[in-house]
Structure 1
Amino acid sequence: MPAVTPTDLTVLPRVPLPTAEQTQRPVVSVTSAPSSFEGEGFPVKRAFAGVDLRLLDPFIHMDEMGEVEYAPGEPKGTPWHPHRGFETVTYIIDGIFDHQDSFGGGGTISNGDTQWMTAGAGILHIEAPPEHLVVSGGLFHGFQLWVNLPKSNKLATPRYQDLRSGEVTLLSSDDGGSLLRVIAGDVAGHQGPGSTHTPMTMIHATVTPGAELELPWRPDFNALVYVMSGDGFVGPQQTPIGTGQLAVMGGPGSGGALRLSAAASQQARYASGLDVVILGGAPIREPVAWAGPFVMNTRAELVQAFEDYQGGRLGQPVPAASPADLPHGDVGGVS
């Protein structure tokens, strides 16, 4: 796995075990992500499908992109498309993505890099594999998370954060059996590089077979655990969980610790153990009006967002994009 993986975990700072007062969060639900296609036809798993938005708050949507081994000529991306009212967080584990926006920004993200885009007042955006990857084919794997913005920041000035793999904060569990890649937020006093409008934590953790990970967790945050690969257990009762499944943990006030472990016996393709994305954030608790690429507070604001897009007011002119290019449906997609 090219995402940052040091060979020796013993040299990393260790996260202390939770105290006796930091009780473990219970498991509220475990759901399986359905598979779909996004953009120009790349495969995704809808990690939050079927989960009440109130349990996800401040998160809106997450797609796992791949894992897929493209043949030459197969790699795909997205056409130009708009966003308003939230942030997109694109984390690439394997592969390469180029991105460009209507304000002249852009760049390339690859193994272990994160592109954090605050859409705010509105932006047009495109993501695609570079031409050499289209020609050669290759492995592609990552995920994109949508983070809601509170009403006070919905129309903030758009911005990018390009977080390189070398900036990610690397930690080890207390027993040395788990690697934590902290992309944003604070874990036991160790801060990730991402700057967030909405208080939150995002971690990519790898738990080796048979190891257990116990994390102190902010009592005012929610907690979500999504399994990218492997078999394991989560919560105080060690509820089984596996590839493509999301565990929603008890909400704010239900405990100050998380517990998960990797099964001692893993399938051959999951030999590294349990790979998970751990998310937590302070709920915004505001109305959510969501249609396609816009996440606002009211229907009137959604109508205004579509009118502004169609009127060319979401950034400078870019290659033609018609309303037919917009993502469809009541929920958003990877973008």
Structure 2
Amino acid sequence: MTHKDVSKVETAKIQREGGGFLVRRVIGGAVQRCDPFLMLDHLGPTTYGPGEAVGAPDHPHRGFETVTYIIDGENKHQDSQGNSGMLKAGWVQWMTAGSGVIHSEMPSDEFMKTGGKVEGFQLWVNLPAKDKMIPPRYQDTPPEKIPIVETTDKRVRVKVIAGECLGQPATIETRIPILYLDIHLKPGGFFTQPLPNDYNGFAYVWRGAGYLGKSEIPAKMGQVGVLSKSGEQFQMKAEQNQDCHILLIAGRPIGEPVVQYGPFVMNTQEQIQQAIEDYHAGRLGEIPGKEERYKQTDNARAKQKQTGKW
């Protein structure tokens, strides 16, 4: 089998998003896009004191999917269709925004009281034109339902969020063919993952350091390697003296025009204009208690400024 290599390595820059939380913008920043992927943010790692945590109060989405993967912390989500839930460490939420929702992602009440460490990821996956206006849908998946596989030497452990690894399929359903693996390599660990030749993809090192692709390009925490166009497998290796955690994300490109305006991703400028009009006309609905969430965010920012974290 031929190998996909790494065409380039970029370092994600830290910026503030939502209510003011810190992220490393991996896709949509360091790398503009990687069809079908529009964005990957690495949230944190950040440690908040009591009352300091900020989230993303009410905001709209249309035309794509958001995938939230929590490493540490707690995230309370609500939307304009009446859905709500709590995402804790290890949870994955695959939200198909489709025709559009208003969505809120906030720290839990308990986390606001105690503070603590926050870390996680949000991936934006584009939808093909035929699916952009489908009804919204959620898949909230707890950690015990996310398959974990290991190599025979026990030096590589993989969470199978989407797609398949070592013969184990994921439980989460996707609209288009996608691979999403969280790969933990112990020091010196080596792993090769088969990939369809036509997949686009990237490998993001979110903890530790290692080597990406057949050429063994070095990469450390906060760096992303974009996979070459051709090849049927991809390899990675950890440093000899430290662990390496890598998100390997790949999918079949959609190959359609992308017109994006913030949280709206469509195929034409006219569709974007319609999304803006629908949002301002209230057609995407609303979530009760919006003022409280914005007040909570303002108070948390003020507390961070008092403690010198802003």
* 1:212 partnered with 2:182: no
- For 1:256, give the aligned amino acid: E
Indicate how the Cα distance of structure 1 residues 174 and 219 shifts in structure 2: closer, same or farther if over 3 A, else same. Answer: farther
* 1:262 partnered with 2:238: yes
Q: Which residue of 2 aligns with 1:147?
A: 125
Q: Percent identity?
A: 41
> Residue 320 of structure 1: CA displacement?
5.2
Q: Aligned residues, how many?
A: 291
Q: SS where residue 272 of structure 2 aligns?
A: helix
Q: Which residue of 2 aligns with 1:247?
A: 225
Q: Which residue of 1 aligns with 2:302?
A: none
TM-score, normalising length: structure 1? 0.84
Q: Which residue of 1 aligns with 2:268?
A: 298
Q: Which residue of 2 aligns with 1:189?
A: 167
Q: Deviations over 1:164-215 (max 9, x none)?
A: 1001111113532110000111224321111111210111110001111111
* 1:87 partnered with 2:65: yes
- Unaligned 5+ segments in structure 2 are 292-310
Q: Deviations over 1:206-229 (max 9, x none)?
A: 000111111122222122100111
**Which whole-Å CA distance do the structure 2 matches of 1:115 and 1:139 have between them?**
19
Q: SS where residue 43 of structure 1 aligns?
A: strand
* 1:25 partnered with 2:1: no
Between 1:42-51 and 1:237-246, the stretch displaced more is: 42-51
| Structure in which a larger fraction of residues adopt strand | 2
Q: SS where residue 174 of structure 2 aligns?
A: coil
Q: Which residue of 2 aligns with 1:11?
A: none
**Which whole-Å CA distance do the structure 1 matches of 2:159 and 2:122 have between them?**
16
User: What pairs up with 1:82-231 in 2 under 5 angstroms?
Assistant: 82-231=60-209
- Unaligned 5+ segments in structure 1 are 1-21, 267-272, 322-335
Indicate how the Cα distance of structure 1 residues 187 and 218 shifts in structure 2: closer, same or farther if over 3 A, else same. Answer: farther
Q: Which residue of 1 aligns with 2:256?
A: 286
Q: SS where residue 90 of structure 2 aligns?
A: coil
**Which whole-Å CA distance do the structure 1 matches of 2:32 and 2:282 have between them?**
34
User: What pairs up with 1:54-93 in 2 under 5 angstroms?
Assistant: 56-93=34-71
Q: Deviations over 1:54-89 (max 9, x none)?
A: xx1000001001111111111111110100000000
Indicate how the Cα distance of structure 1 residues 157 and 27 shifts in structure 2: closer, same or farther if over 3 A, else same. Answer: same
Indicate how the Cα distance of structure 1 residues 106 and 320 shifts in structure 2: closer, same or farther if over 3 A, else same. Answer: closer
Q: Which residue of 2 aligns with 1:43?
A: 22
- Answer whether contact 2:185 2:238 (CA < 8 A) is retained: yes
List 4+ stretches of structure 1 deviating above 6 A. Answer: none
**Which whole-Å CA distance do the structure 2 matches of 1:199 and 1:310 have between them?**
34
- Answer whether contact 1:85 1:296 (CA < 8 A) is retained: yes
Indicate how the Cα distance of structure 1 residues 139 and 210 shifts in structure 2: closer, same or farther if over 3 A, else same. Answer: same
- Answer whether contact 1:40 1:76 (CA < 8 A) is retained: yes
Q: SS where residue 57 of structure 2 aligns?
A: coil
